[in-house]
Amino acid sequence: MIFDGKTNLAVDCLGWVDHGSLWTYNIVDKKEQRVPIAGASYAIVRKGENGLFRVVQQENAGATITIRHFQNPAAELARIRVESGVARFDGDDSLWGSVENVAIVGVTNGQRLIWINASARSVIDLDISWFNNDNYDVGYSGLIDCITLPGGTLVLVSAQRSSRLSIVDLQQNKEVESLKLVDRNGNPQLAMLDADELLTSDYDTMCRVNLNQRRVVASALLQQPVAGFMHEFIGDFDLHGNGTCAVARPFSEDVLLLNVKTLQVTKRVRVGGQPLRVSMVSDSDVITRDWKTGRLAIATFN
């Protein structure tokens, strides 16, 4: 889930609930709406700069990526359509400089990791031969998240059921390094803390990674195993500008507030149900969506 404070709008897509639509919620007028996306079975949203966000549409054939603005999520300001190896650009090409330019897209025979070079009006397939059975459980997992590191030449990529993050060099178009998390075999979500550090999840644990040292420098187990052996995952997390991070816990019916440097829990609020998506909408207020139903919940950290 992503949120824009200027428009007071949250945007999300839970594929099994929203299908090919964007879910939106305005925290001021309290309105939930759905914005249909033509041709999409579901979508992945990522916040950009200047009120923009990117939508990666998952489709039966080909791939479509659009840029939209929180003021009017229904309007496509820029679009790339990739089909049969050919990319077609429409709209304002300059906007691609305000969103993440590497994306994971689904295709009929698996996934592609692509790099959008808007200045050349091209889309380049990045080599994912490293995503193989020697390193991953390919039959039961897929690529899950990717983010361009400061400097713009390296990309960090995560996969399901794995604690291994791959570092891909865009110029060489190959994996050049990898780093290990804490062996929880999670579905790592990736977010930059600053130019040197990354925050990521590893199943039931949050990790702070120093990118210069290429290692985890702090971690916190946030979901205790049931009966001492049955592990349960944490939900999504959301960084907030005041040095905190909200983490949803679907098996504990609550949201935790962490200090991003120490990863210590500073506050907790119960929301009920199974919160999976989460977004901080102020220094004290948080909204969540339920894992199975998409139900909205609003809560305040006291």
> What is residue 227's three-state secondary structure?
coil
Tokens of 83: 């089909």
Per-position pLDDT tens, the chain of length 302: 999 999 999 999 999 999 999 999 999 999 999 999 988 999 999 999 999 999 999 887 778 999 999 999 999 999 999 887 788 999 999 999 999 999 999 877 789 999 999 989 999 999 999 999 998 888 889 999 999 999 999 999 999 999 999 999 999 999 999 999 999 999 999 999 999 999 999 999 999 999 999 999 999 999 999 877 789 999 999 999 889 999 999 999 999 999 999 999 999 999 999 999 999 999 999 999 999 999 999 999 99
Q: Residue 120 — φ and ψ, nearest 5°?
A: -100, 0
Within a 10 A sphere around the Cβ of 261, how many other Cβ atoms? 12
HSE of 100 in the Cβ direction (CA atoms, 13 Å)? 26
Characterise 275 by phi-psi region: left (phi > 0), alpha (psi -120 to 50), beta (else): beta
Global pTM? 0.95
Element (H, E) at 249: strand 244-249
Q: b vs e for 229-250, b when ≥16 Cβ sit within 10 Å of the residue's Cβ?
A: eebebbbbbbbbeeebbbbbbb
